[in-house]
Amino acid sequence: MRILVTEDDEDLLLAVAVSLRGGGLAVDVAADLAGADEALAVNSYDCAVFDRVLPDGDALVYVRERRRAGLRVPVLFLTALDSVAHRVEGLRTGDDYLVKPFAMDELVVRVRGLCRRREISRPAVLRHADVELDPGAREVRRAGVLLSLTRREFLVLELLLANAGRPVTRDELFRHAWDELVRPATNVLDVLVGQLRRKLRTPPLIETVRNVGYRIG
């Protein structure tokens, strides 16, 4: 599960990111709405966490506008604005609302709950040839046989299947399967794809596109 956290307080941002990662989640971070907007444009998230008041605007207004434009990512607001009116307004726009100060364990539980909601609403099984990938169940089968994939192998295959027929760049695969704050070694993607190919067995499914990335034809 991949989460976007937007918070301008550096200490709180670090604490939230560490807690979510400790809960087994991949976390990208932004310090303002401009950074969040850029991240949402290029990445797929299971949940987005926004501080309500940011240097470049009100996150509630931003989310409301993005929802009108088609944003479907579950949103949790963090805020010191704790009146009933503020909470109602936040819940009408987002999906959850947590008042500062809050317990990190509660934040992790709430984020995981929103991620599960996201999984329920995801598209049906991805299929190509005799391969089936179920995003909700996190299962992959080839010719009806259940395969045992690591989380990153699953995410790489998911992105390739979702874009079957076109090359997926290395940068796209890194952004989808790794935390943006962790830049893997140059050959780690090639090693992972090699492992994935072995697990998928024959006939070969994943093609190398020279100087670009990989493709499922």
pLDDT attached to residue 185: 67
pLDDT attached to residue 123: 55
> Which residue ranges in the chain fall short of pLDDT 50?
120
Tens of pLDDT along 178-199? 765 555 667 889 999 999 999 9
Domains of the chain, start order: 2-121 (3.40.50.2300), 126-216 (1.10.10.10)
Six-digit token pair at 183? 């830049």
DSSP designation for 186: T
pLDDT attached to residue 173: 87
Label each residue of 21-70 as H, E or C: HHCCCEEEEECCHHHHHHHHHHCCCCEEEEECEECCEEHHHHHHHHHHCC
pLDDT attached to residue 87: 81
Question: How far is Cα 11 from Cα 132, in angstroms, rounded to an integer?
Answer: 42
Of 38, 35, 39, the C-alpha closest to 26 is 39
What is the value of pTM for the model shown?
0.58
Adjacency order of strands within the sheet including 126-128: 126-128, 131-134, 139-142, 145-147
